[in-house]
Structure 1
Amino acid sequence: MRFKTLSELASLAQAENKPISRLMIEEQARESGESEDVIIARMASYYGIMKEAVAKGLSEDTTSRSGLTGNDGKRVNRFAGEEQPSVGQDAAKAMAYALSVSEVNASMGRIVATPTAGSCGVIPGVFVSAQERFGWKDDDLVNGLFCAGAIGHVIANRSFISGAEGGCQAEIGSAVAMAAGALVELRGGTPEQSMHAAGLALKNSLGLICDPVGGLVEVPCIVRNGFGAVTALAAADMAMAGVRSVIPSDEVIDVMLEVGRAMPEKHRETAKGGLAQTPTGKAIMQKLNRQPF
């Protein structure tokens, strides 16, 4: 890739007068040797899977084999339709959709890891709900995924996206940054605004530990996807309103690397600390150890 930082990414897009998504498509074609048509078609198939996961989570039983989670996406979606959510209808939908996709993952359904399975609900939650709200075509959202992918590419190569390496900040934090930056582009924002959105989103997730109860990608992973989708909406709105990330986004990524390296091992996907080691977390673990699968 011709860019290694978010600053370089935004500068290239501005200099060549093209959106980040178009730049990423061209870079991917150059790097892989595949045609743009093949690359775009593959990404379109990924977006189709995301939409299928949202629909499945909202219509089918998503109770996990552990019995710990399931059907909360439907609950939030129903609440959003019948009541007046404090976060507003649009944010509530994004939250419901994100929960639904994460529950499909926990119940062994098909999802797209964006950027990981543990954070698979954030981008679909934001994208599918925004598509319904604004009436965008699938092609628009596919372009949005390329923008998100460009941001994720920088984060993955400058820091990490794995909870085992850097805690949940690396998974949910990265997904929220990718979703926020892409949403800005989808709504007509500038590449610079997209980078500010990513930085604002990521700094709000710094220090988030990975503490899966029972070692499963269920508690608290699923609800963090729901919260992450709402955070992405907020970060995109801030950036489009003119709010800037005072600490440059690339420096925020560097801080995530620093924090992740300093994070105790027990807070990095081991289930040896955090919520996993609360009295209830331990009791759940003991129950799961006795439970035949």
Structure 2
Amino acid sequence: MSFLFKDFAGWKTYCEENNCSLAKPVLEYEETQRGRNEDEVRSGLLHAYTVMKDAIKTGLEEDMKSNSGMIDNGAKKVFNNPITVLSPEFQKLISRALAAKEVNSCMGRVVAAPTAGASGILPGVMYTLQEQHSLTDEQIAEGLLVAAGIALIIEYNASLAGAVGGCQAETGSAAAMGAGAIVYCLGGNIDQVFNAVGITIQCMLGLVCDPVAGLVEVPCVVRNASAASISFSSAQIAISNVSSVIPVDECIEAMAEVSESMESRYKETALGGLAATLTGKKISKRVLIQDIEILEDEQNEDE
């Protein structure tokens, strides 16, 4: 029987008692619960990582303009900007996260990790981590296993869906997955990995889901970029042996509590926050009119 992911404390205990890495029980879980052998699991992870890298490449090379007009090749603008605010590496991280998420907004192929709305975070994080530290694809796959374990526990105790828990559940969870994977791939111990997750959740706690016009574009795309940067800041803090103070399981409990108290208009309903601003309402009306016109054109063609 594989380890069932209910909390981080249990995950740590299992690994210590069995003298194994954090990735091992996730692999066993996949083998037992999904009926796949180790080679199939690892092959699937490598394929998923290839799709992530392809999404980045697509977002940085092809035309990324959504039907609403809210997405207009932002990733390329960031990537090619001669003004570097912090460092070239930071600029690449931000542009890659934007790129992969723009592909999603333009109906391209992405990996929902853990959701399509947060699909730019892990690609940006893992690709940049690999480049910075010359990691192999197999090492990245190990990190993705740990990221999956983190997601399983968050899902069990809180939520990964913006419609249930706000954007803290989507970009917050993805950022936590990225932070934990970074620390793991760089040789951090269990406490450091879990502190990275806890610190990230603390940084993202309470973030609402308020998509303009009900589309996963604004503010979703730019939040992927900011969440990717939080993954690295949390990882740097945690791998330096700075504690999250509040244990990671309690951070997840807090996320669940905030989710429960959050009003419905802040849960992917497009009724509050940025979606309810004057400009947000104007965009929503314009998008609705466009949809009606497209529908009428399609009906006329059928006739």
TM range (shorter): over 0.9
The runs of 5 or more residues in structure 2 that have no matched partner are: 295-303
Contact 1:91 1:233 in 2 (8 A): no
In structure 2, distance between residues paired with 1:198 and 1:89: 26
Which runs of structure 2 are paired with 1:114-263 in the superposition (5 Å)? 114-263=113-262
Match of 2:95 in 1: 96
| 1:90 Cα offset (Å) | 2.2
Match of 1:67 in 2: 69
Q: Deviations over 1:42-69 (max 9, x none)?
A: 1111111001001101111111111111
Contact 1:99 1:223 in 2 (8 A): yes
Whichever of the two has the greater Rg, that structure is 2
| 1:100 Cα offset (Å) | 0.4
Of 39, 58, 61, 1:56 maps to 58
SS of corresponding position for 1:204: helix
In structure 1, distance between residues paired with 2:252 and 2:89: 29
Q: Residue type matched to 1:70 in 2?
A: D
SS of corresponding position for 2:204: coil
Bigger shift: 218-227 or 14-23? Answer: 14-23
Give percent identity, aligned residues only.
40
Q: TM-score, normalised by structure 1?
A: 0.96
| 1:286 Cα offset (Å) | 1.1
SS of corresponding position for 1:218: coil
Q: Residue type matched to 2:165 in 1?
A: G
Q: Aligned Cα RMSD in Å?
A: 1.2
Contact 1:149 1:178 in 2 (8 A): yes
Q: Residue type matched to 1:176 in 2?
A: A
Q: Deviations over 1:192-246 (max 9, x none)?
A: 1111000000111111000000000000000000000000000000000111111
SS of corresponding position for 1:51: helix
Q: Deviations over 1:62-98 (max 9, x none)?
A: 111111113111111112xx33322x22222111100
Match of 2:39 in 1: 37
Contact 1:10 1:195 in 2 (8 A): no
Residue-pair matches, total: 290
Contact 2:5 2:152 in 1 (8 A): no
Bigger shift: 272-281 or 130-139? Answer: 130-139
Q: Residue type matched to 1:117 in 2?
A: A
Q: Which has the higher contact order (CA 8 A, sep 6+)?
A: 1
Q: Residue type matched to 1:105 in 2?
A: N
